[in-house]
Structure 1
């Protein structure tokens, strides 16, 4: 495999956290002002967006809120913020060693109900949105940069229980993608589910947050050959605990299937010998943060 391909996948590996505390931040926004923010120091382990799993310690800024028809959520990560490879893995790069200095994701939704002044709910579907998800990795060259826009429609779903549930269905516009063959095209779709369950009956301030991203109907497998896939699934499970109104901790288990659209078990060689792609299985995160 070329050096550019190797750099591409290492860059993928540091983009580890896709809004792990989104649900908790939304709950905080509902209980406080219209806009909430937090900073969290996170350690990740065995993260499988690359066929060589990665670990990292990084800083995340996160925001969430709603004003009128506009619902906001996003985060900005600084990979390898401690600058010490002993806190990550040998594949870990970041701001200190010519890796990406920043990775970000922004997920605005605009309420169609609010814009039209009409109640569009029916059955369990409470409110409808025009939904977006923009992902950008600020690498210094094509092999280390991602620029992806998901655009589609979303809804909030009434579960008739304490469980909060929302869904979004997107089409994917792919610009830079670490040099992959599907760059500069419309390529595939994503189904996104988010679910939040307060667990105050177990401990006051404890919340379960989950979300699943299923990418499908991509052409990357056909364009790139047997090393890549047309679909991928990432399912994330978070236990988020508010120690006090300002400090939170979280523990996360994340399951990958074809992480990064890499085919698990394929034999790869990036110039340092053959290895088997490891893109299925579990990764973990632990974090401590400050809400402000």
Structure 2
């Protein structure tokens, strides 16, 4: 669950050199594609904030101890204005009432909303100085805020990542950006690391235009979140100190419509230790936090 974009987030700055399209990368960042134009008769509502409503079908997602299948509604946005570079989305889990036994959402006492916002502020623009050097084009104060509005504190997440980001010139059509963060953890589904600074995250995002196809633009988008340096695994035998979520997307974009197929790999997804045995009252099961999941997305951009 929790968006393709969980951990995705694209930046217009990273993809600005592309001549025709600027595109975001996440699950919950990675699914938007917008034709760049200076025409005042733009087909979009905003001249800088790209927006979309998506229907997302997900299977075998591994952010928690059990694999989840879900069909949900998502509002997604990204853009660049002055020093602000922002990506975000709001998910409404199980919005259509469809999911597996491990899934719950807006209509059945689960989380009514899951959101992630990734604002970055350009240090170059705020200081009026060109700080980039070598392949590093621009530097940012980077943040990533995640909130899962569970029905009680044991079903709620409230996390802030704060650090430094940059856009990287590859000398090719490949758009590349990276962020490094420290993590402050408020609520975390009742885990032992609540209300503390606990660990770090390295995020890398990339975008590559593949071809014009069927009147649209076919793009390859990817991003990965590597969480490390946590103490959670030292405090609980069923958790880990690190985790990885790596995502690759094929995206076909038109002026208003967007279609994506997503494959994501988790290792210790959600910092749950793969293979451990748990029982939440419905019988014992083994944690499945290593492996692949997928998303299919259809979206309308406005």
Partners of 2:31 and 2:258 within 8 A in 1: no
Partner of 1:232: 243
Is 1:217 aligned with 2:242?
A: no
Runs (5+) with no aligned partner, structure 2: 7-25
Query: CA RMSD for the aligned pairs?
Result: 1.5
Aligned to 1:20: 27
The 5-angstrom pairing of residues 1-292 of structure 1 reads: 14-17=1-4, 18=6, 19-20=26-27, 22-23=29-30, 25=32, 28=34, 30-31=36-37, 33-83=47-97, 87-200=98-211, 204-224=216-236, 226-242=237-253, 244-292=254-302
| Paired residue secondary structure (1:160) | coil
Task: State whether residues 118 and 142 of structure 2, in contact with CA within 8 Å, keep that contact through their aligned partners in structure 1.
Answer: yes
- How many residue pairs are counted as aligned between the two chains? 273
Structure 1 stretch displaced more, 265-274 or 124-133: 265-274
Cα distance per residue 1:158-190 (max 9 Å; x no partner): 000000000000000000001110000000000
Q: How many angstroms apart in 2 are the aligned matches of 1:91 and 1:57?
A: 13
* Contact 1:29/1:36 (<8 A) preserved: no
CA contact (8 A) 1:21 1:238 kept: no
Residue 147 of structure 1 contacts residue 176 of structure 1 at CA under 8 Å; is this kept in 2?
A: yes
Residues 1:200 and 1:257: Cα distance change in structure 2 (over 3 Å) = same
> In 2, are the aligned partners of 1:29 and 1:64 still within 8 Å (CA)?
no
TM-score by length of 2: 0.87
More helix by share: 1
The CA deviation string for residues 188-223 of structure 1, in whole angstroms up to 9 with x for no partner, is: 000000000111256641111100000000010111
User: 1:63, 1:184 → 2: CA distance?
Assistant: 29
Gaps of 5+ in 1: 1-13
Deviations 1:209-263 (A, max 9, x none): 1000000000101111x21000000001111112x31111110000000001001
Q: Secondary structure at the match of 2:154?
A: helix
Question: Under a length normalisation based on structure 1, what TM-score does the superposition of the two structures give?
Answer: 0.90
Q: SS state of the match for residue 227, structure 1?
A: coil
- When residues 155 and 30 of structure 1 are mapped into structure 2, their CA distance, relative to the original with a 3 A threshold, is farther
Distance 1:16 1:72, change over 3 A: closer
Report the secondary structure of 1:115's partner residue. Answer: helix
- Provide the C-alpha distance between the structure 2 equivalents of 1:29 and 1:150, rounded to a whole number of angstroms: 31
